[in-house]
Amino acid sequence: MTQFQNRVTQLFGISYPIIQAGMIWASGWRLASAVSNAGGLGLIGSGSMYPDVLLEHIRNCKSATESPFGVNVPLLYPDIDKHIQIIIDAGVKIVFTSAGNPKTWTGVLKEHGITVVHVVSSSKFAIKAQEAGCDAVVAEGFEAGGHNGREETTSMVLIPAVVNAVSIPVIAAGGIATGRQMLAAMVMGAEGVQMGTRFVASEEASSHIEFKKAVINSTEGDTVLTLKQLMPVRLLKNKFYQLVHEAEMRGATIEELKTILGRARAKKGMFEGNLEEGELEIGAVSAIVDRILPAGMIVKNVWKEFNEVLSNPIKML
Ligand code: NDP
């Protein structure tokens, strides 16, 4: 494989600027270590983990790989201070924060020598992340699965906007699952990509096999950004989504929507495999993901395609 270096590979000490997104109920130590062992950057998704569970995943990940890995921390997590303390005490070197204000924890993490990257959905938030001292940002477009920005800015628009707005490296996310898409993002100025949906359809993802099958069988138009009044989330349309949609159509209040959502919907759908009643968070790019593969093969395939197209731009055009 081609020797490649840029600010993103140097920042994390990795071979390829391919990052596996931290995703609730999908990205535990098995997935994160498999991606890191293949030369990308694996992230443990701590949002669905109780503090003791997170610690176990960090320990297992350290045993499974000697390569760099990180932890994704959604800042609205209820026991956030416990997670941060575990991350510091366990000697984790890379943290990706999301869904919150980067000012709150970036300074604390950086004091402990941790590289901090924040996920943003607008150039306004990218500037805030840079001001807070983040080392890089993930610019995550409207196509992305899970929690998402309210403005609905697509990756095609967001990536160049964020690249223009900040001087720190920009990692593109939202709608990326192939080497060609990776190259397109980098032509727009990104220095790396973060992929979630592609890695949900991997052997090592901890999500339920029925959810993985639903992901690979889905097609264009099967995902939607919903619950914008509560916390916008992109998911696969199913019976649960229809309930939410009908409630929104009749003008349901936020309290009513919270009651419909209930508790642990995401776990029910993505971890327990209840495709009707559960919340199935996934990105729009699931439309072109059609096979469950080993995570290491996903990294290699994306990097191979990226290089093949890059090495023959005339043919590409
Ligand atoms: P709910 O309030 O519906 O349920 C909480 C879920 O999180 C339960 O399934 C619970 O597991 C688990 N959990 C893990 N740690 C804790 C804790 N300390 N206290 C309570 N529950 C905990 O939330 P969601 O399932 O919608 O979201 C869970 C978390 O994931 C939140 O922190 C949220 O911010 C994050 N999230 C991140 C997303 C992303 O895109 N990065 C997307 C969606 C959510 P159990 O059932 O075993 O008790």
Which residue ranges have their beta carbon within 6 Å of ligand 1? 24, 47-50, 74, 76-79, 98-99, 146-147, 263-267, 281
CA of 57 from ligand 1 middle (Å) equals: 16
User: What would the DSSP string read from start to end of 14-38?
Assistant: -SSSEEEPP-TTT-SHHHHHHHHHT
Q: How far is CA 30 from the centre of its chain?
A: 16
CA nearest neighbour of 197 among 8, 23, 16, 29: 23
Domains of the chain listed by start with CATH number: 7-207+288-316 (3.20.20.70), 217-285 (no CATH)
Closest ligand 1 atom to residue 50 Cα is 15
pLDDT for 278: 98
From 25, 48, 55, the mutation candidate for ligand 1 (largest count of ligand atoms within 8 A of CB) is 48
pLDDT for 2: 53
Cα 95 to Cα 132: distance, rounded to the nearest angstrom? 14
Cβ 97 vs Cβ 70: under 8 Å: no
pLDDT for 133: 98
Q: Residue-wise pLDDT tens for the chain (317 aa)?
A: 558 999 999 999 999 999 999 999 999 999 999 999 999 999 999 999 999 999 999 999 999 999 999 999 999 999 999 999 999 999 999 999 998 999 999 999 999 999 999 999 999 999 999 999 999 999 999 999 999 988 999 999 999 999 999 999 999 999 999 999 999 999 999 999 999 999 999 999 999 999 999 999 999 999 999 999 999 999 999 999 999 999 999 999 999 999 999 999 999 999 999 999 999 999 999 999 999 999 999 999 999 999 999 998 777 77
235 forms beta bridges with: 224, 281
pLDDT for 31: 98
CA of 48 from ligand 1 middle (Å) equals: 5
The helix (run of H) or strand (run of E) holding residue 172 is: strand 170-173
Alpha helices, H only, 98-253? 103-111, 123-131, 155-165, 179-187, 197-200, 209-217, 239-249
pTM over 0.85: yes
From 24, 43, 79, 194, the mutation candidate for ligand 1 (largest count of ligand atoms within 8 A of CB) is 24
